[in-house]
A and B are shown apart, each in its own frame.
Chain A
Amino acid sequence: MKTLFLITALCFSPLVYAGSLTVSVHDQYGEPVYDAIVYIQTINGKIPESVPESSVVIDQRDEMYVPHVRATTIGSLVDFPNSDDVQHHVYSFSAAKTFELPLYLDVPAEPVLFDNPGLVVLGCNIHDHMRGYILVLDTPYFVEIEEGQGAIQNVPAGNLELRLWHPRLEIEIELTQQIPLGENESLSLAFDVQLLPERMVRRAPKRGKKRY
């Protein structure tokens, strides 16, 4: 496995009852990574309780899902507004959620309930280059990595099973690592990940191919 997992620093947190994790993620070229999700799957071998439900918005702008990657908790309602002036046809065939929102403009009538954990891959049946990801989690402890940085606050002390997911992670499974976290402790973690080349996100013109 080419992915390296490093704990690079340790320091104390001002929080009284819980610790925190500061995470940095870089790719094989040393560039900060976007669209990664780091989450705590279990604490002392148990799935964390009281997962808060939330409302999430995945917009469609300029023929892209915005954000491209989103993490949410199980039981969340997700709205898929269409901010473009063309119709979209949102769909997913993922085991965690299979659904379709056929041809629509503006805002669909109802949000979609994501009631199973797992990865949901979004597509658009009109614009095949559109692809989005929703990672539905049964833990409230997660962070979406932007510009290679993120933090998870108020983490209970214990032995943490930490996972990292990215749509282009080379090993095609989530990276898992056990991390001990003491009370009021703050850990800084660094992930170096091997990512596959990006595909099918481009909309640049192709010689010999019509746009539609």
Chain B
Amino acid sequence: MYNKPFRLKTSILLFIVSVSLWPTEQALADWFQEGSAEFLFNDNLNRAILESDIRSDISLEGAFVGGYFSQVAEYTGVTASAAFTLAHFQEYSDLNNVSLNLGLSFNHKFGVGDKVPRLNGTVSIGEHKYEYEIRDVEVRRADLSLVKRFNDYLELSFGVKHEDRRSDHYLSLDTNSFSTYVSGFLDINARDWIGFSYTRRSGEITSSSSTSTLMLNASTATNRDHTFDNGVPIIAYRLDAETDVYSIDWNRAISESSTFYVGYEKQDSKASAGINYDTNIFRTGLMLSW
């Protein structure tokens, strides 16, 4: 359905655009690199309703992001970046994955001053390769946000984003969603700040549960999901849903180039036919930049 050549073409296109923006003068680019390591606990990995179907796990994720920023006009800059991530799950090794995402961003500031709003836009494309290769997906994202710092304490972003996940093997993993969000940072002092966000996500989700007529009737695609099988057959159902995502993180700067954080995220999904899920994610990690 989604053939490799098409995916390859979009990747190549993004690469060509990135290279075309490659700064011709070293002095005009700000190169940046960031690395992170994060522990996550997800109490409902498979988005199941029944207690007996719910699978939880701890994962360790590492990421490296590198790129360059170039100020192309007085108020406008562009950024090209590449992000490489690794994820290792303690129990569900099928979910172990590596991914490479290429992104292009622009930001435009509507004048001079630190409280002047900025418009940010990003498109990215990524390949996610899983240990259980049936789960491989290509992920495309587009994000547009308006960022405004109100004072020395508070910065808010209002945005929309679109995500398209495409699988070579499982139709139930092909999902498409559109989200609106508000996020922000509350500065407590020079070393501590709170990051928070609320996202309303409208679109498809994949729920893996035991066989259910209710789920089957509500789903738009199904596949057998061997990852979460535990003696009882588990089916991956693709469902249309409205998902509220609440997230909060406490960040502490350890130095000018490193940050420790602890965070919590709650996902509350409401699918058709009264099918509802709750997912809680706890995370802690360390970020480095240089």
Contact = CB atoms under 8 A, between A and B. Distances in A.
Nearest to A62: B256
B153 A199 contact: yes
A204 B189 contact: no
Given A103-B71, A204-B258, A123 B113 contact: yes
20 contacts: A86-B71, A87-B71, A126-B71, A126-B77, A197-B189, A199-B189, A199-B190, A200-B187, A201-B190, A203-B256, A205-B257, A205-B288, A205-B289, A206-B259, A207-B195, A208-B247, A209-B195, A211-B289, A212-B79, A212-B107
Interface of A: 85-87, 89, 91, 93, 100, 102-103, 105, 123, 125-126, 128, 197-212
Interface in B267-290: 285, 287-289
Contacts, number: 109
Contacts of A209: 185, 195
Contact of B69 (A199, A201, A212): A212
Contact of A207 (B27, B77, B122, B263): B263
Given A103-B74, A199-B190, 6 more contacts: A85-B27, A123-B114, A200-B152, A205-B259, A207-B259, A207-B261
Interface in B54-112: 69, 71, 74-75, 77, 79, 81, 105, 107, 109, 112
Q: Kindly state the interface size class of chain B when it binds its partner.
A: 35 or more
A206 B254 CA distance: 12
A198 B153 CA distance: 11
A39 B183 CA distance: 44
Nearest to A125: B112
Nearest to B28: A87
A72 B69 CA distance: 35
B34 interface: yes
B161 to A, nearest CB: 13
Contacts of A200: 114, 152, 187, 190
Contact of B34 (A86, A102, A205): A205
A86 B29 contact: yes
B183 A208 contact: yes
A45 B71 CA distance: 51
Contacts of A125: 75, 109, 112-113
B254 A128 contact: no
Contact of B251 (A89, A93, A206): A206
Given A86-B30, A128-B149, A210 B259 contact: no
Interface in B113-160: 113-114, 120, 122, 149, 152-153
B185 A206 contact: yes
